[in-house]
Amino acid sequence: MKNTSVVVTGAARDFGRTLAIRFASLGAEVFLSARSLKAAEATRDEILALGHTKVHAFACDVSDPESVRAFAEQVGRVTDRVDILLNNGAGWLDGFDLETVTDEEIMATVASAGIGTVLMTKHFLPLLRSSQRPDIVNIVSLVASGRSDSSSASPAFYAAKGAQANFADIMSQRLRPQGVRVISLYPPDFRNVDPLGPEWDGADRGPGTGLTARSLLDCILFAVGQPRDCFIRTFGFEPVPDGGGQPDGA
């Protein structure tokens, strides 16, 4: 990942934080966003403490067009290109019954994953087109595959991830002729082991255990590391019954 510019949304916690720390550790220059600048700076400071200096923190609400435009403009003042856009930021919403969540929670959830992915892709495309190796990576969810109702997520989360998946699918077709790959991952609930803790290297990744963040990261690195004649559009994952893990997309 040396000499690679990487944008990560939702970088303050969970898998977004993991992505930011691991890509920085591999030598990438990382541009982190979170709804709160303070939260993004907390992840930035963790990376700086590891000795990686090419890291920048920004505030960005991915469901707000003005906020996304400002984020893209700020990144463009620092770098002339973005090589990898990681659309990770999305709000998790629990609640098996639709009536148990508020209208405001539904709007925020659908906007974060659905609208957020559209806006981020639109406003970062100019910087991606300036790259020799542009990749857009979307962290979607198994719930968007239509193959599982095993998640405790609200139906609104299903709707949000379905919108994200459909957008990613059409953009993978329309951007491919321009040399931009769109890669989407559909993980089940997974264990987001701490990238700075001993469990990162020591977590059980055997066949009877749930998917780990490290295995998910390995898939991303494999896909973006392929030569440009190799286009992996999707990664589908089979859940392990009672394998445990955090809600995917959280």
pLDDT tens readout for residues 202-234: 888 888 788 889 999 999 999 999 999 999 999
pLDDT tens readout for residues 112-157: 888 999 999 999 999 999 999 999 999 998 888 766 656 677 788 8
End-to-end CA distance of the chain, in Å? Answer: 25
- 135: which strand partners? 84, 181
Under 8 Å between Cβ of 47 and 31: no
Q: Strand (E) positions, 9-103?
A: 29-34, 55-59, 84-87
Residues 116, 170: Cα–Cα separation, whole Å: 16
Q: Judging by DSSP bridges, how do beta strands 5-8 and 29-34 pair with one another? A: parallel
User: What does the block give as tokens for 189?
Assistant: 């609930």
pLDDT value of position 148? 60
pTM of this structure: 0.90
Helix/strand/coil for 88: coil
Q: Strand (E) positions, the chain?
A: 5-8, 29-34, 55-59, 84-87, 135-139, 181-186, 234-236
Owner of token pair 């993978």: 172
Domains of the chain with bracketed CATH:
5-236 (3.40.50.720)
pLDDT tens readout for residues 57-70: 999 999 899 999 99
